[in-house]
Chains A and B, each alone.
Chain A
Amino acid sequence: MPERLCTIQPKTNGTAVLTIPGGRNSSAKNLLEALKRQTAALSANRDVKGLIITGTGSGFCCCPAEGSASFQDAAALSGFGQQVLFSLEKIGTPCIAAIEGECSGLGLEVALACDFIVASRTASFGFPGIAAGLIPFCGGSQRLARLVGKSQAKEIIFSGDLMSAEEAYRIGLINHLYPEGEALSRAEELLAHICTRSPNAIRIGGEIVNAGYDIDLHTACMLERDAFALCFSSFDQREGMQAFLDKRPPLFKGE
């Protein structure tokens, strides 16, 4: 069953961990299909407050981009992969990628679609597919260039080399660099902390950041104004501000 490729473990604090196995043997299509099903299930489940995506053992879904038999197949796989990762990006709850080992190929594409990436010192990152004539196909080239700049992205994709976690931290590919073996536990702590904030503000903020990034400043600010005003019809806004004035922790409902 494809679900074995991609399993969800709910945590007692309302967050969930989505584990993608390491190894180079899984097929990109099967993995994307499993990811699509899990993303749809998570989107429909309002009880899940936050998500961590991680790998098993030392690997994080490092299956290489696969070559396809025909142009049609390659185009279809790329279109499908892009749709799946757009859905993941729009999941509406905070989503952190926690990387302990190699995160490459499709694995890096998935990590780039998360809100941000944290990793331990043993992690490595790259798109090794170039050696076989393959390039990222699920939005990875575009997300990588926007995140670390065009030159860094070109170096990563042209060389096919795996980059160390230290280097990834230096160029801003990952937000935090943790000691060996701590990526998942530290990501869980960080996610639990984020989940004390307003889910409504986080969801709207995520949408506006994504929508505003690729359009001009003026139009983006107009969008933001409307979204800001919308917050003032929410429970979370009244609760958050009243709690601040009362000097007590807020109890957000996400509405």
Chain B
Amino acid sequence: MERYECNGCSYVYEAGKGDPHNGYPAGTPFSALPDDWCCPDCAVREKPDFVKLEETPA
């Protein structure tokens, strides 16, 4: 499962969970998020600021 971490607040985006509150349902791959998608926790980092983490077994 692909995981990307906010480099500001340590929130982790997991495609399996998505970001449903902001309209990106579970299963949305990170690549499908728009560039201006911002961290749902701190809101001061955007997609290009996220760092890819080691993948975990799905």
Q: Do A and B bind each other?
A: no
Binding site for A on B (CB under 8 A): none
Binding site for B on A (CB under 8 A): none
